[in-house]
Structures are given as structure tokens and as C-alpha cells.
Amino acid sequence: MLLKNEREEVIEYGKKMILDGLTKGTGGNISVLNCEKNLMAITPSGIDYLKLCPEDIVIIDVETGKIVDGDKVPSSESDMHRIFYKYRKDIKAVVHTHSKYATALSCTNQKLPAVHYLLAVAGVDVPCAEYATYGTVKLAKNAFKAMEGTKAVLLSNHGMITGGETLAEAYNITENVEFCCELYSISKTMGEPQILPKEEMEQMIERFKNYGKRTEEHEEI
């Protein structure tokens, strides 16, 4: 089977996306890139994530956009995944969700500011892309343009899309952006949230590069 490992990984995270409440029904989509073959494995359109099997995952040529393997209809947002694989060398996996708080914020056409340091997994902040009809090249181009320099973007009146070096990273970014959207929404009901300065967020981005890694540097307490 072509890209067997990638198909299985897409299914694993598709199920996780539903169980974690990051999308509803068959909404949203997930893909992963095989750099060696320049092929992407992406979820099909309109099939329950919990019922997916490897044969349902569609394999698409990144350069041409043509289906290489699979008899299912690929996600309507396949171009929005493909554009990142064509032009962003730091993105090899993409997660698109309709999570509650990120989608709600996208309906205000506002960016997500640095309300919490965890947002640094995506960047200094998360911009909001200009609205376009779902499944169109226009939406793909809007998302790509807005996500320059970050690994997440809100899609106006639609949802969110994230990218990473791995599917695990892209999914982690999705979870943290949704969490920060929730914090931002709640804190706005209490008053005006204090936004972390750009310098602090840039420092957090650097610190996260070594997160979980052993270092010999110790600051005197």
C-alpha cells in the first residue's frame, strides 16, 4: 500500500481530533507529507473519522494536485494543504479544525494576540486570514498569505489551520491555539486581558526550541 504509515497516522490523528472535541461531524481535515515522493496523504471528504480505514485516505501529488491513489473524494480543502507543502519547507503536516473557540474568534475577524506564553508554539500571535468560500484556491491563498512567519492562522468565519514539521507538532499547535482562544474569550468577559509583549513571546519561541531537552545552563537563584 502506498504511504501506509502516513495513512495510518492521518487516521490516528483524525480520530483524536474528534475525541478531543476539536471539530464536529466530518468537518476539518488532516494531511501529512512524504517528502521523498512529494506526495501527501489526506483525509477523504464526508466520511466519519471514527470509521476511516487506510484505503479511505487519498494520496495526492503535491506538484500537480492529481490523485495518485485512492477511490474516495479527497477533502475539499486539499489545495489549502498542498499550498503549504509546495512553498513552506518547514511544514510537513497540516491540521484544519472547526474548534469552538478558534472558530468563534475567527467570526470576529480578529487575530489571536499573545494572551498566554503557550501561544509561542505557533508564533508571536495568530493572524486571521481574509474570508473566502471553503474549498477554493482563494481560501488556500488567503491562508498561506496570512500564515507567513507563523504556524497557525484563523480562517475568518470558518475555523483554524496549523502546520508543523510532524503531525504531532501540528496537532499540538492546534490544541494550544484553541486553549489560548478559550482563555482570550473568557478573559474578555472579565476585563481587558493583558497581552504579552513581542519581546517576551520571541524569548518564549527560543525557549520552546529546547523544551524537553537537557541543558547544562543554570541560573543562580
Residue 104, CA distances (Å) to 26, 99, 189 in order: 19, 8, 14
Instruction: Specify whether the CB–CB gap between 62 and 85 falls below 8 A.
Output: yes
Sheet containing strand 29-34, strands side by side: 67-69, 58-61, 39-42, 29-34, 93-97, 159-164, 152-155, 128-129
Instruction: Give me the catalytic one of 9, 77, 169, 178.
Output: 77
Grid cell for residue 5: 504509515
Query: Does 63 qualify as catalytic in the annotation?
Result: no
75-85 core/surface letters (b: 16 or more CB in 10 A; e: else): bebbbbbbbbb
Q: How many CB atoms lie within 10 A of CB 104?
A: 14
Residue with the three cell numbers 510537513: 92
| 94 closest CA partner among 45, 164, 143, 156 | 164
Task: At 74, give phi and psi (nearest 5°).
Answer: -70, 165
Residues with active-site annotation: 77
